[in-house]
Amino acid sequence: MTTVTVHHAKTHLSKLIAAAERGEEVVIARGDKPAVRIVPFEPATKPERKPGRLKGLVAMDDRFFDPLPEDELRLWEGRGE
């Protein structure tokens, strides 16, 4: 593990980034107290999407397509409280 001061990190940031990319642990300290750790960026992985995963879990009957009552419609349109 490499621990450096903030001042050292400011002047050698490129080298510290390269060290972190190589897998070294780099810690930046304020005085003698560790403050942050530099780690390589890892893009988030998106979960695999599969069509039909909710089949059978959600059901809607014909009332779904019925017009909304006037008071509820006003709320959706921002015309009421």
Domains of the chain are 2-38 (3.40.1620)
- The pLDDT value recorded for residue 35 is 97
pLDDT per position as a tens digit, 8-28: 999 999 999 999 999 999 999
- The pLDDT value recorded for residue 58 is 85
Which residues, 6+ apart, have CB-to-CB distance to 80 below 8 Å?
71, 74
- The pLDDT value recorded for residue 26 is 96
Burial class (CB in 10 A: 0-12, 13-18, 19+), 81: exposed
- The pLDDT value recorded for residue 13 is 96
Q: How confident is the model at residue 1 (pLDDT cuts 50, 70, 90)?
A: confident
Mean of all residue pLDDT scores within the chain:
92
Q: How confident is the model at residue 80 (pLDDT cuts 50, 70, 90)?
A: confident
Burial class (CB in 10 A: 0-12, 13-18, 19+), 57: exposed
pTM: 0.54
CB 27 within 8 A of CB 3: yes
